[in-house]
Structure 1
Amino acid sequence: MSEIERGRGIALWSQIGEILAEDILKGRLRQGDQLPSAQELAARFDVNRHTVRRAMAALEQRNLVRTEQGRGTFVQEQTLDYAISKRTRFTQNMRNLNVEADIEILEDAREIPPTQVAEALGLGRSEYVYRIDTLSHADGHIVDHSTAYFPAMRFPGLPEVYRRLQSVTRTLSEFGVNDYVRKHTRVSARLPEAATAKLMKQLPNRPVLHVQSINADPRGMPVQYGITRFSGDWVQLILMADD
């Protein structure tokens, strides 16, 4: 099928979707390629842009394309299988996948944490934490927006160490915590907050994988409470059996 056929009883948007899907599945459009704009496709098929948008929405539902706010529509790449296990480490996960990755530090602060965070870390009502917000990138794409909390009294000056080392594992090791394990993980799918959607450059009606976690040292004392919002378009979470 190369062009649409009018009067054959199949909606025009459906025909357009099938043509583009065939281009993707047969490799004429490759992973990561940008599709022509709605205006260009409307001109190609001699239809209005609303018809093109319906076709693109159908392709998104089939996970063949993704839309990036302000950039356009792209052929969907293969998702990353992100392993969550007793010893989850971002850098090691990316290395296992042979993916180039980096972490961008957005902000850090010393503050009184929300009640849920304080309870998870076993802190009193007036005890401080360090909060660090980051964006993780893999192969040039934003994988997640994370917020990590660390007990400030136990880890004085932690943000400066983290900025220097760019690694939670190496940072905690500087404070004598040479190993830590995942004590608790809770995963849910939810719509991102407006700030997260903007940071991750995704539409606010696209769900993220929301992961809340607690890491503890070998004595069972919590050392980190984390909230990670993974891109639902890029990441597939794999829950592993205990090591």
Structure 2
Amino acid sequence: MGESGDTPVTALSRGEGLAAWRQIADGLAAEIEAGRLAAGAQLPTEAALAARFGVNRHTVRRALAALAERGLVRATQGRGTFVEAPRLAYPIGLRTRFSEIVSRAGREAWGDLIAAASIPADDGLAEDLGIGVGDPVLELLTVHRADGTPISTARTCLPLPRFAGFDRAYAALGSITRAYAEYGIADYTRLSTRIGARVAAADEAARLDLAPGRVLITIASVNVDAAGTRIQATRSLFVADRVELVVEG
């Protein structure tokens, strides 16, 4: 019986060598793939699923963890477990704009500012931004969302004093492009892009609502303004199961 006393029990095969948690995971995966659990839908609570399948909550928790590892669901602290949306096609080209890409896909884009600090440029940043080693740089740590789902997190660095206060503009506007407009930059282009991959660290997984051990796509990029001046060096981490990179010629 379910939490309300009338939830029918979905029978599992017993004694056939397939663990109960695996049967539950496979059954829920089939419902997701068939569209009976739509993208963005919230799954029933652990207690409700335990009642449905006639198992304990530990077994359900293991099944949900397996679905998260497969990229089919994501667990959000304090909110529950949700079906992942289809992968977002994400073009990488001369003009790469997160907000525009997400909006074209019919989803709502927003960026959250996690932290900001003024730091001295190290050798790598100095080279990327065309400035001297030790020159001041504004460092932003951000998370970018589509319909509330974290798609990427990034460390973005901009030269000071030109972009003093940029963190406040970004926090208010939720977009690098919109924040640039506050500084008189109507257009900017991609100078370079380097793409790689690695496993998410624990803090990155938490920031992106990921199961531990999931794969991230790494993108290191440099942007320039209309005059060709280097204005932005970014190290982005994209959830591999949530985007499909499209490299434009």
TM-score category, normalised to shorter length: 0.7 to 0.9
Q: Identify which of 151, 159, 163 aligns with 2:159.
A: 151
TM-score normalised to structure 1 length: 0.80
Deviations 1:119-151 (CA, angstroms, capped at 9, x unpaired) = 211211221111222222221222222221111
What is aligned with 2:200? 192
Q: Identify which of 126, 129, 132 aligns with 1:121.
A: 129
Q: How far is 1:213 from its partner?
A: 0.8
Q: Secondary structure at the match of 2:244?
A: strand
Task: Give the stretch that moved more between structures: 109-118 or 11-20.
Answer: 11-20
* Corresponding letter in the other structure for 2:118: R
Q: Is the 8 A contact 1:85 1:239 kept in 2?
A: yes
CA distance in 2, matches of 1:43, 1:64: 22
- Structure 2: where are the runs of 5+ without partners? 1-9
Task: Give the stretch that moved more between structures: 98-107 or 120-129.
Answer: 98-107
Q: Is the 8 A contact 1:69 1:202 kept in 2?
A: no
* Corresponding letter in the other structure for 1:81: A
Q: How far is 1:165 from its partner?
A: 5.4
What is aligned with 1:35? 43
Q: How far is 1:211 from its partner?
A: 1.7
What pairs with 1:77-226 in structure 2 (closer than 5 Å)? Answer: 77-162=85-170, 166-173=174-181, 175=183, 177-226=185-234
CA distance in 1, matches of 2:69, 2:210: 15
Q: Identify which of 1, 4, 7 aligns with 2:12.
A: 4
CA distance in 2, matches of 1:6, 1:128: 64
Task: Give the stretch that moved more between structures: 160-169 or 16-25.
Answer: 160-169
Change (3 A) 1:136 1:63: closer
Q: Is the 8 A contact 1:161 1:171 kept in 2?
A: yes
CA distance in 1, matches of 2:51, 2:173: 52
Task: Give the stretch that moved more between structures: 8-17 or 126-135.
Answer: 8-17
Q: How far is 1:63 from its partner?
A: 3.4
What is aligned with 2:7? none
Change (3 A) 1:42 1:170: closer
Q: Is the 8 A contact 1:133 1:148 kept in 2?
A: yes
TM-score normalised to structure 2 length: 0.79
- Superposed CA RMSD: 2.9
* Corresponding letter in the other structure for 1:210: T
Task: Give the stretch that moved more between structures: 70-79 or 172-181.
Answer: 172-181
